[in-house]
Amino acid sequence: MPRIDPRDLTLEQKASLLSGRDFWTTEPLDEAGVPSLVLTDGPHGIRRQPGDADHLGINESLPATCFPPAVAVGSSWDADVAARVGAAVGREARAFGVSVVLGPGVNIKRSPLCGRNFEYYSEDPLISGILGAAHVRAVQAEGPGASVKHFAANNQETERMRISADVDERTLREIYLPAFERVVTEAAPATVMCSYNSVNGVPAAEHRWLLTDLLRAEWGFGGAVVSDWGAVADRVASLAAGLDLEMPGTGGAGDRAIVAAVRDGDLDEAAVDEAVRRVLALADRAVTATGDVDLHGHHALARTLAADCAVLLKNDGPVLPFASSVRRIAVIGESATSPRYQGGGSSHVHAARVDTALKAMQDLADARGQTVAHARGVGSGGREEAVRVAADADIAIVFAASEPETEGIDRETLELPADQVELIRAVAATALRTVVVLSNGGVVSLEGWHDGVDAILEGWLLGQAGGSAIADLLFGVANPSGRLAETIPLRLQDNPSHLNFPGEQGHVRYGEGVMVGYRYYETVDVPVRYPFGHGLSYTSFQTRDLAVTRTGDDTATVSLTVTNIGERVGKHVIQVYVATDAGPVRRPARELRAFSKVALEPGESRRVELELDRRAFAYYDIELGRWTVAAGEYTVQIGENAARTITEQTITLPGDTVATVLSLDSTVDEWFSHSAVGPALLELLSAGMTEEQAGASEENADQLRMIASMPMRRFLSFTGFAIDDDRLAELIELSRTV
């Protein structure tokens, strides 16, 4: 599209470009050659509605491939999996004439109850950022743009359109913003979508610090900011804050408000011009529907990727994969034939086809001379049938699913439906061996039945080919390699957000601060059922020869050798954590700072190198307003998971030179501990002390510690020490020059 100068357009024309024409398309400007763009839901498949439109996944959409949702992709710990999903979604978007795909979602799983956790990757911002950036790059390499969402602190569905997420800046910077920052700075998404909620009392759609100061000035975002559908309450305030495109259309109401505000002098037309420039740049991504999509090939891809996402939680015996001695297999549970493979709401995809685990297992069993019997296990009669089928088999596979998760509603419990728990326990009491396969969009409780079964395969929501992927894993066609991207607690009450979720009276307080997920569990030593990063394989891996080398004052390289010491090809996830007590703020026991997934043949070794940048060692200092590396020791840990360290090495970093500028509101401790001012002050005060005062100071160390936090002005007032104003000013100036 030829470049257009907004100044050549009328105010009315400019305003028309800044809101939707209808639910899914933008307003064209035919006289200027500006096309209409189609935006539609993703991120794990295209929800292209040819008829009546909605944002809740209710009305019909065109058949498309439903790939594994983010809850599954997050547990792959594999940027390549995220990229392959993104590339395929990009190809289907192009085929359907979609210019912008709404996704991925990189919000943090603060609470396991969030109803939309199935659309988010992890409780950790590093995983969310790396996978989100890979997805965006891959989508946009195919032509359509991506819209990373929901910016920011959108971590619940309860009151999502009006709740205020009250979060301190350090927590925002360290937990809830880094994934967005990485996607923006590394993948340059076409758009960023603002969230419905407020952040610290200001609606995200009107939050200038978020949309302009941080996103554009600090991170360098050059794309367009688009509203979540219906998130704009005040069109003029949102435009002034940095929101470019309001969706969906409002019948011209937003346009008229913009025009009136400019003409009344309430809105600078330069702000309108900037927003128009960004929307015009977005128009460069206009695509024409080709109709050319390989749904068969994408289904096969979805099957392969799904197998990389499932997590083998438990495998006593081991009972998986099925041994050659297993001749009779009992498949129990309704979800073996009616699978739950995606969540509800705006990301609901009209799947082109859906595989069932039962059919896929029957196909594999037939080829091996095994038999498969099925019982739905529904109702008391169905349970009796399930027990009979299980008793007659060498192994019983129970398929259990959580209550459906959906956009707009948070969950109330982590428990599986009671009838499914009863079914698991009844089968486990009868069968020789019992395996439970889970289907759920957020973690579920395993308590009450965990110890009675031999194996548990966490299948999450695996997309339309998930049934075949599960069969591949059970029969050993594929080797499970997923790792938990979120902790499975023993109790909901153990979750750090429990007392502050979902909030009250219009506010939700993020009282746990940076201690989210495994950061909390490991720091306060709360036991969990399965820790972040846990996952088993059908083979075994050995890690050796760890070397951590400083490459600068605040960067390092981690290298180690990984060997597949088992008998099957498999994939291993290297998890690098950093632990430190350095600095003036409380740090989590350890934090994930790098990871890599490697595929190894039996007996194969590989030397792997990972980089730790400055941020791997930094905390966000709210007093300095910047990322800071404190001087001290940092232990680089290679974890089997967040709870178990395999090997570690400690390095010492010099840290940042931070000049503490003193004032009379600075504490006594800050004055006396200052490298330059402290000795001068001590000499000055000592000179003015009597022998009796000096002796009392030495004898009353506890009292001196008591006043360490007292502001200097109070200290001088209470003690009666006389320091003239000129000398105090000299000491304060000395603190500035060090």
Cis before residue 144, ω within 30 degrees of 0? no
Q: Name, in order, each residue with C-beta under 8 angstroms of 241's C-beta and a sequence gap of 6 or more.
A: 205, 206, 207, 208, 211, 212
Task: Check if 228 is active-site.
Answer: yes
Partnered with residue 390 across adjacent β-strands are none
Q: How far apart are the C-alpha atoms of 268 and 11, rounded to whole Å?
A: 12
Q: How far apart are the C-alpha atoms of 62 and 78, rounded to whole Å?
A: 29
How many CA atoms within 13 Å lie on the side-chain side of 732? 15
Q: Name, in order, each residue with C-beta under 8 angstroms of 274's C-beta and a sequence gap of 6 or more.
A: none
Q: Name, in order, each residue with C-beta under 8 angstroms of 27's C-beta and a sequence gap of 6 or more.
A: 16, 17, 19, 20, 21, 36, 249
Q: How far apart are the C-alpha atoms of 400 and 437, rounded to whole Å?
A: 6
Q: How far apart are the C-alpha atoms of 483 and 195, rounded to whole Å?
A: 29
The answer to whether the beta carbons of residues 575 and 124 sit under 8 Å apart is no
Three-state secondary-structure class, residue 370 = coil
Q: How far apart are the C-alpha atoms of 328 and 369, rounded to whole Å?
A: 10
Choosing from 41, 78, 124, 228, the catalytic residue is 228
Three-state secondary-structure class, residue 182 = helix
Residue positions counted in the chain:
738
Q: How far apart are the C-alpha atoms of 311 and 460, rounded to whole Å?
A: 8
Instruction: State the amino acid at position 716 in one-letter form.
Output: L
Q: How far apart are the C-alpha atoms of 359 and 562, rounded to whole Å?
A: 37
Q: Which of 578, 546, 550, 548 is nearest to 653 (CA)?
A: 550
Instruction: State the amino acid at position 650 in one-letter form.
Output: T
Q: How far apart are the C-alpha atoms of 463 and 66, rounded to whole Å?
A: 5
Count CB neighbours of 381 within 10 A: 10
φ, ψ (nearest 5 deg) of residue 537: -135, 170
Three-state secondary-structure class, residue 417 = coil
Q: How far apart are the C-alpha atoms of 638 and 560, rounded to whole Å?
A: 9
- Residues classed as catalytic: 228
